[in-house]
Amino acid sequence: MRLIADVKNANAVLQWDQETYLPTKGAAFRGQQISTLSEISHRMFSEDELGNLLQDLISKENLSPGQKRNVEKTYEDYLKNKKYTSAFVRKLSEQVNKAFHSWMESRKQNSFSVYEKDLDSLIQLKRQEADILGYEGHPYNALLDEFEKGATVHLLDKTFANLLPPLKNLLDKILNQPPVDSSFLKQQFPKQKQWEWGMELISRLNFDFAAGRQDLSEHPFSVSFNRNDVRITTRIDENEFGNMTWSCIHETGHALYEQGLIEEEYGLPLGEACSYSIHESQSRLWENNVGRSKKFWQSFYPLLQTYFPGQFQNITIDQFYSGINHVQPSLVRTEADELTYHFHVYIRYELEKKLLDGTIGSHDIPRFWNEHYKKFLNVEVPNDKKGCLQDVHWSHGSFGYFPTYSLGSFYAAQFYQTAQNEINNLEIDIESGNTVNLLNWVRQNIHLKGRFYTSEELCKQVTGSGLEVNYFLNYLLDKYVSIYNL
Amino acid sequence: MRLIADVKNANAVLQWDQETYLPTKGAAFRGQQISTLSEISHRMFSEDELGNLLQDLISKENLSPGQKRNVEKTYEDYLKNKKYTSAFVRKLSEQVNKAFHSWMESRKQNSFSVYEKDLDSLIQLKRQEADILGYEGHPYNALLDEFEKGATVHLLDKTFANLLPPLKNLLDKILNQPPVDSSFLKQQFPKQKQWEWGMELISRLNFDFAAGRQDLSEHPFSVSFNRNDVRITTRIDENEFGNMTWSCIHETGHALYEQGLIEEEYGLPLGEACSYSIHESQSRLWENNVGRSKKFWQSFYPLLQTYFPGQFQNITIDQFYSGINHVQPSLVRTEADELTYHFHVYIRYELEKKLLDGTIGSHDIPRFWNEHYKKFLNVEVPNDKKGCLQDVHWSHGSFGYFPTYSLGSFYAAQFYQTAQNEINNLEIDIESGNTVNLLNWVRQNIHLKGRFYTSEELCKQVTGSGLEVNYFLNYLLDKYVSIYNL
């Protein structure tokens, strides 16, 4: 399993490089190299000999609970992997590469049509993949399960049905109040200065630079090659302060999880993150529950003012806090506030369901997108770049990924409430800029558990109950009642 | 073969990253990942099925000369590869990783003893490798053959015997003349400014930035993942001008070769460089024959002066030209002048021979090194960092590599003389900063030939005769007679 992990992680290095430093003409061969490594790791992970070894191990009596879980989860992954042919793995990887590059090109040209055909071929392959994996009910269930074990259209429909009406209700109330001022976030913030600020920020959040690095890329992301080499990226908009800052905190949240996994379990389930939604809970917890709280900025705002004295000298911490929590329906998911964010996810979720069951096709995406943004957020999409071309995910073949973003926020709220109950003086810590106790708490309760539990099991283990959307709704309500005087 | 090339090139990406961006704690897992990919590519390249296919192809009648050569060279590589067991490949790769990191550490501590043990184990493995590969005469021949097909101790001894006496004679004459002034090269040259200058320089030498990039590393190197993605690195010394500048030109020479290979032959011998010495001939040709000529600086010196007006305002082009060709026995190979350089190589060659046949061991290296630097260059080695720890090569397991540096200089002189004879107005081109015609000439005569010929055959093909050291000696004589008024 460690050899397989080596190949997969080597492939992750190639992908990291592709999105940070790859020269333009290198794209085609790089795609081919990535496909070859994907094919090799797939072949290694579906060899009969490995299957036999795993079956032998499963029947062993004297395994520790951790060993038992490692064997069971690995066998589960093995059986799933075995369903794919090498040819399909290669085909999918090659199509992802094609789609990724035409997505990049379509963004340059600001036109979805450049991307439509390659995306369509990819969607066909994802439908085939759903058939290969098998599913009950909706074909999308097969893909959801890839990102979130046990997630189904049925469960997610129910979750969103519980969430959206109160969220809409809260949004309407907020929009009826006088808007808070966030215009000071849209001044000129020089690139180099932002970079230095971001580096100090993530360092203070205990990102370990001896075991990772930050670089620039078109689309911020985090990737891990092992717990001692975790890479994050960000992007800098000189005319907007928030963009880079909270992407730094977000990706640091992911990175702290990876840097907190168990070294000795490299390549084994206990050395891996629990799930996509739990991963996202860690980025959201730091980005929002911590990073958009007033307590956090008590110590960080004075520091920030030393980086941008001109821009922030006349802005009080209260104004700053309100501004960074400003609610406003908008076009771009990654720049959305914590409330409207989930409408962005919901629209993508609805779209993916329909793409997967064939109700709509690739060419319908811009129309569907724009109509739903109008309907749910009452915004007009001016062009594809600010519309359906904004996310990289589909070009990576990641259908079923978006819902984990919402689940991540919900888990984050539930975890953070628990942390607040369990850690003495957490609020005082945070006010003084000390997040080590919180980090140790998530390390102990979440990171070090690896993939021992499912998301739901872990949530019960940590918080005493399964996922409940109310934690998140209460968290939002608390925040906005005070900011908007509701 | 293309799949194998994908794996090897993926591994090259991991190695590039290791020397440019890898966080410190990532070293151990990275070493493991590199070993795993080495093992996989070795296994792929020694499968019986591949051997059978190659044998079938070799007996085919209707192959074109290029196809025939591709098959023959591949089969030759295959048979060599087949001699190694997977276990040995992995062991060697792991030991290289260990030695590389203890070399880095020993440089930090400026003490060879930190490195001695790991280097010794590596030397033992290289002796085993010589046995695995087989050889006639000296065991070092087996390793030399890896880097330069057909090179032997016998031939190299003869080459150095022809070279060293006239070189020593020339050196003595020069040292009897008043020294030329090169002190202006040791002013303060700010890092950022040097970087910008280097980037402009390599861009004007037609390095294709859409098919490659330059980064910083501890030790400058070039590496190619395919002809559309060729990476070079440099290092910057703020107190010395020459260090970065000629390393940029040198690595660009390597890169132009790789960027000039045939795309369609990716993974096949015709898509690969001829040999290490021919590769080095390309870096040397640009670095020295072009990049240290007066003609070249006719147009580049005024440009350089715009980057560093303060530093160069009172230095005439004649002073600059003499200064950059200043001959002075010194400690560090990569900073040596074109003449004394070959004593540095010769000392390493002598040392490697003795390490391979067991006459001396790893612990004798500092003593041997320091004695020979005293004997041949009359310099005292003050510490290991400026002595036997200066080169990365041994830590990579590259024994037999150094001689190709000297051979490269000799081939470069012979090629450049031929280019001067064959290209109309080459000197006028170079004087006006236009090196395109020269680049096209080396592309046509050398780069596009791939590995069709051996070094010696290629040399005959291009220049009409096999390698002759006199071209190099005459080139040096010409240069120094005028600079030193001999």
Q: What is the pLDDT of residue A109?
A: 95
* Tokens standing for residue A266: 């490299």
Question: Does a structural domain hold residue A326?
Answer: yes
Residue to test with chain B: of A1, A7, A36, A192, most B Cβ within 10 A: A36
Q: What is the pLDDT of residue B235?
A: 95
The amino acid at residue B466 is G
| CATH code for position A396 | 1.10.1370.30
Helix (H, G, I), strand (E, B) or coil at B233: strand
Question: Does a structural domain hold residue B148?
Answer: no
Please check whether residue B262 touches A, CB under 8 A: no
- Number of residues assigned to chain A: 486
Residue to test with chain B: of A7, A8, A20, A21, most B Cβ within 10 A: A21
**Contact between A235 and A413 (Cβ < 8 Å):** no
- Residues A299, A330: one domain? yes
Mean predicted lDDT score pLDDT of chain A: 96
The secondary element (H helix, E strand) that includes residue B119 is helix B113-133
The amino acid at residue B444 is Q
How far is A120 from chain B, CA to nearest CA, in Å?
Answer: 28
ipTM for this model? 0.93
Question: Does a structural domain hold residue A387?
Answer: yes
Please check whether residue A266 touches B, CB under 8 A: yes
Q: Which residue has the tokens 């003595």?
A: B172
- Residues B121, B184: one domain? no
The answer to whether A226 contacts B26, with C-beta atoms less than 8 Å apart, is yes
Question: Does a structural domain hold residue A146?
Answer: no
Please check whether residue A3 touches B, CB under 8 A: yes
Using a CB-CB cut-off of 8 Å, the residues of chain B touching A258 are: none
Using a CB-CB cut-off of 8 Å, the residues of chain A touching B6 are: 32-33, 35-37
Q: What is the pLDDT of residue B85?
A: 93
Q: At what angle do helices B455-463 and B276-284 cross, to 10 degrees?
A: 50
Of all residues in chain A, the percent with pLDDT exceeding 90 is 97
The answer to whether A228 contacts B9, with C-beta atoms less than 8 Å apart, is no
Q: What are the tens digits of pLDDT across the range A52-108? A: 999 999 999 999 999 999 999 999 999 999 999 989 998 998 999 899 989 989 999
The answer to whether B226 contacts A17, with C-beta atoms less than 8 Å apart, is no
A251: annotated active-site residue: yes
The dihedral built from the CA positions of residue B443, B448, B451 and B454, taken in this order, carries a sign that is negative
The answer to whether A24 contacts B225, with C-beta atoms less than 8 Å apart, is no
Q: What is the pLDDT of residue B195?
A: 98
Q: What are the tens digits of pLDDT across the range B304-347? A: 999 999 999 999 999 999 999 999 999 999 889 999 999 999 99
- Residues A343, A449: one domain? yes
Q: What are the tens digits of pLDDT across the range A324-383? A: 999 999 999 988 999 999 999 999 999 999 999 999 999 999 999 999 999 999 999 999
Question: Does a structural domain hold residue B452?
Answer: yes
The answer to whether B29 contacts A213, with C-beta atoms less than 8 Å apart, is no
Q: Which one is catalytic: B39, B129, B251, B352?
A: B251
Whether residue A422 has pLDDT greater than 90 = yes
> What residue spans of B260-401 are helical by DSSP H?
276-284, 294-307, 309-312, 317-324, 341-357, 365-377
End position of a domain, from candidates A81, A110, A139 = A139
How far is A40 from chain B, CA to nearest CA, in Å?
Answer: 9
Sorting pLDDT into bands at 50, 70 and 90, what band is A219?
confident
End position of a domain, from candidates B139, B162, B183 = B139
Sorting pLDDT into bands at 50, 70 and 90, what band is A268?
very high
Question: Does a structural domain hold residue A148?
Answer: no
Nearest CA to B118 out of B345, B384, B358, B363 is that of B363
- Residues A363, A478: one domain? yes
The answer to whether B228 contacts A29, with C-beta atoms less than 8 Å apart, is yes
Counting the structural domains of chain B, the total is 2
Q: What is the pLDDT of residue B241?
A: 96
Q: What is the pLDDT of residue B219?
A: 87
The answer to whether A210 contacts B24, with C-beta atoms less than 8 Å apart, is yes
Whether residue B78 has pLDDT greater than 90 = yes
Domain of A410 in residue numbering reads as 153-484
Q: What are the tens digits of pLDDT across the range A272-314? A: 999 999 999 999 999 999 999 999 999 999 999 999 999 999 9
Q: What are the tens digits of pLDDT across the range B116-151? A: 999 999 999 999 999 999 999 999 999 999 999 989
* Tokens standing for residue A293: 């709280």
Whether residue A214 has pLDDT greater than 90 = yes
Chains A, B: CB contacts under 8 A, how many?
A: 105
End position of a domain, from candidates B72, B106, B139 = B139
CA distances from B392 to B216, B253, B350 (A): 16, 20, 17
The DSSP-derived string for B147-196 is HSTT--HHHHHHHHHHHHHHHHHHHHHHHHSPPPP-GGGGS---HHHHHH
Dihedral (Cα; A193, A198, A201, A202), 10-degree rounding: -150
Nearest CA in chain A to B28: A228
What is the arithmetic mean of pLDDT over A432-443? 97
What is the arithmetic mean of pLDDT over B153-174? 96
How far is A36 from chain B, CA to nearest CA, in Å?
Answer: 6
Nearest CA in chain B to A43: B40
- Residues A80, A221: one domain? no
The answer to whether A26 contacts B266, with C-beta atoms less than 8 Å apart, is no
CA distances from A207 to A250, A253, B342 (A): 12, 9, 47
- Residues B164, B41: one domain? no
- Residues B164, B89: one domain? no
Cβ count within 10 A of residue A40? 25
**Contact between A228 and A199 (Cβ < 8 Å):** no
Q: What are the tens digits of pLDDT across the range A32-57? A: 999 999 999 999 999 999 999 999 99
- Residues B234, B334: one domain? yes
Question: Does a structural domain hold residue B144?
Answer: no
Q: Per the confidence metrics, is the pTM higher than 0.80?
A: yes
- Residues A257, A287: one domain? yes
The answer to whether A7 contacts B37, with C-beta atoms less than 8 Å apart, is yes
**Contact between A128 and A112 (Cβ < 8 Å):** no
Question: Does a structural domain hold residue A175?
Answer: yes
Using a CB-CB cut-off of 8 Å, the residues of chain A touching B33 are: 6, 9-10, 13, 225
Q: Would you tell me which residues 225-244 of chain B have a C-beta closer than 8 angstroms to some C-beta of chain A?
A: 225-226, 228-229
Using a CB-CB cut-off of 8 Å, the residues of chain B touching A9 are: 29, 33
How far is B197 from chain A, CA to nearest CA, in Å?
Answer: 20
- Residues B157, B270: one domain? yes
The separation between CA A82 and the C-alpha centre of its own chain, rounded to angstroms, equals 27
What is the arithmetic mean of pLDDT over A152-176? 96
- Residues A327, A227: one domain? yes
CA distances from A182 to A171, A225, A315, A322 (A): 17, 38, 10, 8
- Residues B94, B214: one domain? no
Q: What are the tens digits of pLDDT across the range B421-465? A: 999 999 999 999 999 999 999 999 999 999 999 999 999 999 999
